[in-house]
């Protein structure tokens, strides 16, 4: 029982961060049909940048600075790399995001080195006791932040002009463009938001676990979340994030502890394979119907 | 293939038209290339190990070129097939005591089976879903190897050889590798101009249209995956017997991405692409390794950023090539040749 409560708590906390990172994935895919395999590296970069900025700035300012820089990075990626490749075959686009991942990881490691770094303690540390299980308080804080941000993104897409334009473009590119939506702007903002979501994910995970190069692999867990929820569905990505977090901590954690060591690490990939075999377009994704 | 045919070069038979090296220029060029490769140990001296690494990765990359460049199926798990080959080879030669050639064949065939198994779902999931599925496969294989071998997954492998004869030096290994390298390259070129290769290209260009034309999609997709894995398995087996020690760290997702970098840099629609790409990638990374001690003397900071510098350079080369020259190095060479054909006049 203790194990279940603890795992559910941890799963929801981690899952909320996965959901946030997955949101960036899904957002970008919905608006641009680009699967960004460099997303994990954006998370990594966000985490390191935020830590570097906390050395010179107070924490809230450092986070704001990180987000501003992440947005700039997103715009730059769109302008320099993605715009010349607009309309190129899928393979080129996937490979270019891999290359982008290389560049970002190389820069991150080159600038800050690959070792683990910690944030200064800004959120209260310590454990919360819940029915005999212990859940780190930081996890709850990051889950709350993630939920808040998910709500903010949701409101943004519903209420603001830009958000509506982005949804329109994602829904039907050609029609949206005839109605005066600038596709280039939409793509640029999609990249910026994806980078921001990734950076927030990096900061939250960094606050909780510290930042090191392995953080880049969180991108793959978020990938499992989006695949599960459906690549072009934002609610799906969020739900997928929570499910991946829960499955990883409950089932993966159980098997890890009792049957095979290290099983937790590959739970996400098993989820991907299972979804691929049963329902490749995910829970809420649009089924792609191919015609000659 | 040839852009400009020399004057008076008339083909009078289908065989001559289908020849891999269809002009005397290409035949002479290929002869020079083979001679240069055979003489490489004399020219390179102690740097011959570079050619060994290039050759092994070129064989693996040829497989990926068949799969991704010619059949259009994206695989982000090519290093996993290489790992399968390497560990199968280590197992058969170490535990079962089979001689190296047998271990190599067994490893390649085991990899072929794995490839065919991974290729099976490619009928249902395609494009980026397939890429993600192969990515998941890559991590599963890494995990399985680590847990099946216990601990770090490091295994000692006996050196290559047959009976009394053992390949000990880099140069001996180089000649062994060179024969396999040429053989596998020529085999790939022949496959690609056969019915199989044409079917692969039809599948790449539009799989349903190919099916309507009577190409059995399942068969050719599975075959392409199997062939790609076969090449990767061969490369893995050679790598195992060359290195004499394998760990899963040789075959991570980063190696898979290196493979993709190789075929993109080399040129995806070309049989020369994987070889050029492998040479480029290996020269870049090993060259940086060799240059690092020299550069540290001039710029002490360089020691820390050598590895990241390689990654950033790779990334930039790939991005630049995809934007400006999607045909890769092979296309650049062809353009150079076309320019020289008519040089110094542009007409």
Longest dimension (CA), chain B: 66
From the CA atom positions of chain B, what is the Rg in Å?
21
The reported pLDDT for the residue numbered B1 is 42
The residue of chain A with its CA nearest to that of B133 is A273
Whether the predicted pLDDT of A131 surpasses 70: no
Q: Is position B2 within any domain?
A: no
Q: Is position B283 within any domain?
A: yes
The reported pLDDT for the residue numbered A133 is 66
Rounded Cα–Cα distance for residues B108 and A61 (Å):
56
Q: Is position A271 within any domain?
A: yes
Q: What CATH number is given to the structural domain containing B282?
A: 1.10.3470
Q: For residue A270, list chain B residues with Cβ-Cβ distance below 8 A.
A: 136, 140
Question: Containing domain of residue A159, as a range?
Answer: 2-278
Sign of CA dihedral B79, B85, B89, B95: positive
Q: Which of residues 3-62 of B touch A (CB under 8 A)?
A: none
ipTM for this model: 0.85
Distance from CA of A196 to the nearest CA of B (A): 22
Cis peptide before A94 (omega within 30 of 0): no
Q: Are A115 and A212 in contact (CB under 8 A)?
A: yes
The residue of chain A with its CA nearest to that of B130 is A276
Q: Which of A65-69, A81-85, A126-130, A203-207 has the lowest mean pLDDT?
A: A126-130
Give the mutation candidate from B61, B75, B138, B315 for the A interface (greatest A CB count, under 10 A). Answer: B315
Report the share of chain A in percent with pLDDT over 90: 16
B74 backbone dihedrals φ, ψ, rounded to 5°? -80, 130
Whether the predicted pLDDT of A233 surpasses 60: yes
Q: Which of residues 93-122 of B touch A (CB under 8 A)?
A: 121
Rounded Cα–Cα distance for residues B325 and A32 (Å):
23
Distance from CA of B316 to the nearest CA of A (A): 7
A292: pLDDT confidence band, cut at 50, 70 and 90? low
Q: Is B140 on the interface with A (CB under 8 A)?
A: yes
Q: Is position A286 within any domain?
A: no
Give B81-96 pLDDT, tens digit per residue: 999 999 999 999 888 8
B318 with A105: Cβ contact below 8 A: no
Helix (H) or strand (E) holding A128: strand A127-130
The residue of chain B with its CA nearest to that of A95 is B260
**How many domains does chain B contain in total?**
1
Q: Is position B3 within any domain?
A: no
Give A6-34 pLDDT, tens digit per residue: 888 888 888 888 888 898 888 888 888 88
Q: Which of residues 207-236 of B touch A (CB under 8 A)?
A: 208-209, 212
A220 with B135: Cβ contact below 8 A: yes
Q: Is position B74 within any domain?
A: yes
Q: What CATH number is given to the structural domain containing A257?
A: 1.10.3470
The residue of chain B with its CA nearest to that of A106 is B308
The residue of chain A with its CA nearest to that of B322 is A92
Q: Is B309 on the interface with A (CB under 8 A)?
A: yes
Q: Is B246 on the interface with A (CB under 8 A)?
A: no
A92 with B322: Cβ contact below 8 A: yes
Q: Is position B85 within any domain?
A: yes
The reported pLDDT for the residue numbered B3 is 47
Question: Containing domain of residue B66, as a range?
Answer: 42-342
Q: Is B284 on the interface with A (CB under 8 A)?
A: no
Q: Is position B261 within any domain?
A: yes
Question: What is the pLDDT tens value at each position of chain B, 347 positions in all?
Answer: 444 566 667 788 888 888 888 788 888 999 999 999 999 888 888 888 899 999 999 999 999 999 999 998 989 999 999 999 999 999 998 888 888 899 999 999 999 999 999 988 888 887 788 888 899 999 999 888 888 877 677 888 888 877 778 888 889 999 999 999 999 999 999 999 999 999 999 999 988 899 999 999 999 999 999 999 999 999 999 999 998 889 888 898 889 988 998 998 898 888 999 999 999 999 888 877 777 777 777 776 666 666 777 788 888 988 998 888 888 899 999 888 888 877 777 66
**How many domains does chain A contain in total?**
1
Identity of the residue in B127, B206, B308 whose CB atom sits nearest the CB atom of A106 = B308
Report the share of chain A in percent with pLDDT over 70: 95
Rounded Cα–Cα distance for residues A71 and A8 (Å):
33
B260 backbone dihedrals φ, ψ, rounded to 5°? -60, -40
For B246, counting Cβ atoms within 10 Å of its Cβ (0-12 exposed, 13-18 middle, 19+ buried), the class is buried
pTM of the model: 0.89
Identity of the residue in B121, B310, B313 whose CB atom sits nearest the CB atom of A276 = B121
Strand partners, B162: B165
Give A266-290 pLDDT, tens digit per residue: 888 888 888 888 888 888 887 777 7
A125: pLDDT confidence band, cut at 50, 70 and 90? low
The reported pLDDT for the residue numbered B216 is 92
The reported pLDDT for the residue numbered A254 is 82
Distance from CA of A90 to the nearest CA of B (A): 7
> In Å, what is the CA distance from B342 to each residue of B23, B37, B60, B153, B339?
16, 29, 36, 56, 6
Q: Mean of the per-residue pLDDT values for chain A? A: 84
The reported pLDDT for the residue numbered A212 is 80
Q: Half-sphere exposure (CA, 13 Å, Cβ side) for B79?
A: 25
Q: Is position B219 within any domain?
A: yes
C-beta contacts of A59-63 below 8 A and 24+ residues apart: A59/A119, A59/A120, A59/A122, A63/A203
Q: Is position A285 within any domain?
A: no
Q: Is position A288 within any domain?
A: no
Q: For residue B261, list chain A residues with Cβ-Cβ distance below 8 A.
A: 99
């Amino acid at each position: 029982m203790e194990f279940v409560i603890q795992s559910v708590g941890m799963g929801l906390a981690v899952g909320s961060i996965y959901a946030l990172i997955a949101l960036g994935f899904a957002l970008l895919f919905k608006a641009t049909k680009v699967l960004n395999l460099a997303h994990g590296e954006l998370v990594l970069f966000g985490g390191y940048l935020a830590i570097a900025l906390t050395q010179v700035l107070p924490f809230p300012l450092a986070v704001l600075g990180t987000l501003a820089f992440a947005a700039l990075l997103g715009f730059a990626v769109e302008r320099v790399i993605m715009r010349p490749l607009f309309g190129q075959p899928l393979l080129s686009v996937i490979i270019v995001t891999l290359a982008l991942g290389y560049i970002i990881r190389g820069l991150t490691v080159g600038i800050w080195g690959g070792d683990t770094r910690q944030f200064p303690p800004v959120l209260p540390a310590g454990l919360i006791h819940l029915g005999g299980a212990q859940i780190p308080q930081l996890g709850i804080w990051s889950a709350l932040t993630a939920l808040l941000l998910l709500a903010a993104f949701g409101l943004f897409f519903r209420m603001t002009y830009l958000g509506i334009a982005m949804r329109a473009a994602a829904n039907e590119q050609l029609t949206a463009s005839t109605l005066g939506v600038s596709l280039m702007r939409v793509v640029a903002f999609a990249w910026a938001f994806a980078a921001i979501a990734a950076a927030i994910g990096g900061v939250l995970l960094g606050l909780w676990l510290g930042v090191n190069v392995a953080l880049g692999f969180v991108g793959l867990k978020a990938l499992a979340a989006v695949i599960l929820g459906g690549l072009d569905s934002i609610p799906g990505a969020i739900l997928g994030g929570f499910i991946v977090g829960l499955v990883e901590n409950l089932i993966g954690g159980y098997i890890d502890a009792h049957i095979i060591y290290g099983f937790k690490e590959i739970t996400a990939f098993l989820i991907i394979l299972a979804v691929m075999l049963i329902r490749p377009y995910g829970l809420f994704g649009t089924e792609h119907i191919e015609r000659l | 293939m040839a852009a400009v045919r020399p004057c008076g070069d008339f083909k009078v038979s289908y065989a001559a038209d289908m020849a891999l090296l269809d002009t005397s220029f290409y035949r002479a060029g290929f002869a020079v290339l083979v001679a240069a490769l055979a003489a490489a140990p004399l020219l390179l001296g102690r740097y011959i190990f570079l050619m060994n690494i290039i050759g092994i990765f070129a064989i693996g990359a040829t497989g990926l070129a068949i799969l991704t460049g010619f059949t259009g199926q994206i695989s982000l798990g090519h290093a996993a097939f290489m790992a399968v080959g390497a560990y199968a080879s280590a197992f058969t030669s170490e535990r079962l005591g089979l001689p190296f050639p047998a271990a190599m064949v067994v490893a390649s065939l085991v990899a072929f089976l794995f490839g065919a198994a991974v290729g099976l779902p490619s009928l249902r999931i395609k494009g980026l879903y397939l890429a993600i599925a192969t990515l998941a496969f890559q991590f599963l294989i890494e995990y399985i190897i680590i847990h099946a071998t216990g601990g770090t997954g490091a295994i000692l492998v006996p050196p290559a050889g047959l009976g009394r004869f053992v390949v000990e030096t880099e140069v001996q290994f180089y000649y062994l590798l060179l024969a396999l390298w040429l053989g596998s390259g020529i085999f790939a070129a022949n496959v690609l101009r056969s019915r199989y290769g044409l079917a692969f290209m039809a599948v790449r260009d539009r799989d349903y249209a190919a099916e309507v034309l009577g190409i059995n999609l399942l068969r050719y997709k599975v075959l392409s995956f199997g062939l790609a894995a076969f090449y990767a398995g061969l490369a893995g087996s050679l790598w195992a017997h060359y290195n004499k020690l394998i760990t899963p760290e040789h075959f991570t997702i980063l190696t898979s991405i290196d493979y993709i970098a190789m075929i993109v840099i080399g040129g995806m629609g070309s049989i020369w692409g994987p070889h050029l790409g492998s040479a480029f990638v290996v020269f870049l990374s090993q060259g940086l390794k060799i240059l690092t001690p020299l550069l540290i003397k001039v710029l002490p900071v360089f020691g820390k950023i050598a590895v990241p510098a390689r990654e950033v350079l790779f990334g930039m080369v790939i991005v630049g090539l995809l934007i400006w020259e999607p045909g890769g190095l092979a296309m650049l060479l062809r353009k150079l040749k076309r320019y020289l054909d008519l040089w110094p006049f542009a007409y």
